[in-house]
């Protein structure tokens, strides 16, 4: 009797999951397979029809200096931005979770810090481009002029643009990490900190011996989410620098979009996107293991 019921329950479970599986297959798996098939052709909207070219697109991409440059920029930028956001977000979360900080002050601060994260990235990017970085109208250069410091032109030199994008990214995205880590730190029982203080543990000891080990899976999750997001970053770069000056801030998303929707080389862009997908999976798998998801 019970085994029949178990079977029925199992059937019901499969039945309820089925619509979700269908949706995932339709909007995830089928486009992915189509993208792979496309990547094996020279499909160009301007020069139809498409021909099968095997792995030519992949081989060409891996010897294309522009693609390698974009790949390097994407990975280096993603690591640097995520690590800084993690460190910065952790300390803000730690300060806000401190029992000395009143809950009303903490909630006001959390709301304010979250503001840039809530607004659409395109809007914030335009704000940075026109109201902050612009050499003529921007606040940044206004204050630099007041302080008799040299102007900051995000479009001059090879380092200004990456710095400009990096600073914007950290300001915009740290709140996400902060809010996750704040939840983690707040969940640690205050009695543990009290005991540590009685034993004479410094704040550094409390962080390294209590907080980090306890919230390690949460840190890993925050890191993985942010890292994936920075790897895929598009809006901010597209609005502020368009990948420039030259190729200085061109990442893989910009590269793929340009090849797909400006040069209409769909096959080539699909191959670039497929390599990117594999790369993201390879890069995040160690962190997922660290979070003991596997």
Residues that bind another protein (CB under 8 A): 45-48, 64-66, 134-136, 151, 153-158, 241-248, 258, 261-265
Which residue's structure tokens are 């009303």? 104
- Nearer Cβ to another protein (10/242): 242
Minimum CB separation from another protein for residue 149, in Å?
15
Minimum CB separation from another protein for residue 225, in Å?
30
Angle in degrees, CA 208, 92, 292, rounded to 5? 50
- Nearer Cβ to another protein (53/154): 154
> What does the alpha-carbon distance between residue 69 and residue 65 come to, in Å, rounded to a whole number?
6
Minimum CB separation from another protein for residue 155, in Å?
4
Question: How far separated are the first and last CA of the chain, in Å rounded?
Answer: 35
Q: Are 45 and 266 in contact (CB under 8 A)?
A: yes
Residues 6+ apart with CB under 8 A from 162: 73, 77, 248, 249
Is residue 49 reached through a cis peptide bond, with omega within 30 degrees of 0 on the bond before it? yes
- Nearer Cβ to another protein (40/86): 40
- Nearer Cβ to another protein (89/164): 164
Residue 228 corresponds to which tokens in the numbers above? 């994936």
- Nearer Cβ to another protein (43/223): 43
Minimum CB separation from another protein for residue 48, in Å?
6
Minimum CB separation from another protein for residue 171, in Å?
20
Dihedral pair phi/psi, residue 193, rounded to 5°: -65, -40
> What does the alpha-carbon distance between residue 43 and residue 41 come to, in Å, rounded to a whole number?
5
Which residue's structure tokens are 């769909």? 266
- Nearer Cβ to another protein (105/261): 261
Minimum CB separation from another protein for residue 159, in Å?
9
- Nearer Cβ to another protein (131/195): 131
Coil, helix or strand at residue 278: helix
Minimum CB separation from another protein for residue 54, in Å?
18
Contacts of residues 189-193 at CB distance under 8 Å and 24 or more positions apart, as own/partner, are 190/99, 193/99
DSSP code for 44? B
Which residue's structure tokens are 């191959």? 271
């Amino acid at each position: 009797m019970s085994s029949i019921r178990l079977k029925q329950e199992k059937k019901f479970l499969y039945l309820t999951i089925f619509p979700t599986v269908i949706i995932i297959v339709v909007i995830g798996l089928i486009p992915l397979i189509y993208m792979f098939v496309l990547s094996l052709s020279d499909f160009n909207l301007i020069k139809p029809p498409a021909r099968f070219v095997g792995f030519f697109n992949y081989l060409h991409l891996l010897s294309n200096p522009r693609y390698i440059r974009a790949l390097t920029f994407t990975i280096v930028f993603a690591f640097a931005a995520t690590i800084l956001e993690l460190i910065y977000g952790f300390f803000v979360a730690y300060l806000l979770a401190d029992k000395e900080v009143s809950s009303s002050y903490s909630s006001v601060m959390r709301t304010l810090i979250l503001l840039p994260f809530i607004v659409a990235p395109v809007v914030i990017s335009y704000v940075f481009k026109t109201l902050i970085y612009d050499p003529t109208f921007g606040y940044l250069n206004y204050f630099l002029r007041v302080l008799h410091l040299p102007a900051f032109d995000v479009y001059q030199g090879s380092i200004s643009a990456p710095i400009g994008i990096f600073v914007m990214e950290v300001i915009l995205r740290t709140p996400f990490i902060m809010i996750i880590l704040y939840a983690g730190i707040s969940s640690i029982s205050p009695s543990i900190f009290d005991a540590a203080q009685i034993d004479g543990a410094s704040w550094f000891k409390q962080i390294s011996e209590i907080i980090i080990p306890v919230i390690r899976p949460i840190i890993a999750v925050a890191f993985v989410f942010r890292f994936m997001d920075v790897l895929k970053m598009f809006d901010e770069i597209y609005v502020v620098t368009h990948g420039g000056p030259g190729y200085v801030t061109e990442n893989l998303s910009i590269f793929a979009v340009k090849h797909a929707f400006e040069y209409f080389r769909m096959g080539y862009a699909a191959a670039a996107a497929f390599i990117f997908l594999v790369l993201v999976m390879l890069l995040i798998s160690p962190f997922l293991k660290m979070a003991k998801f596997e």
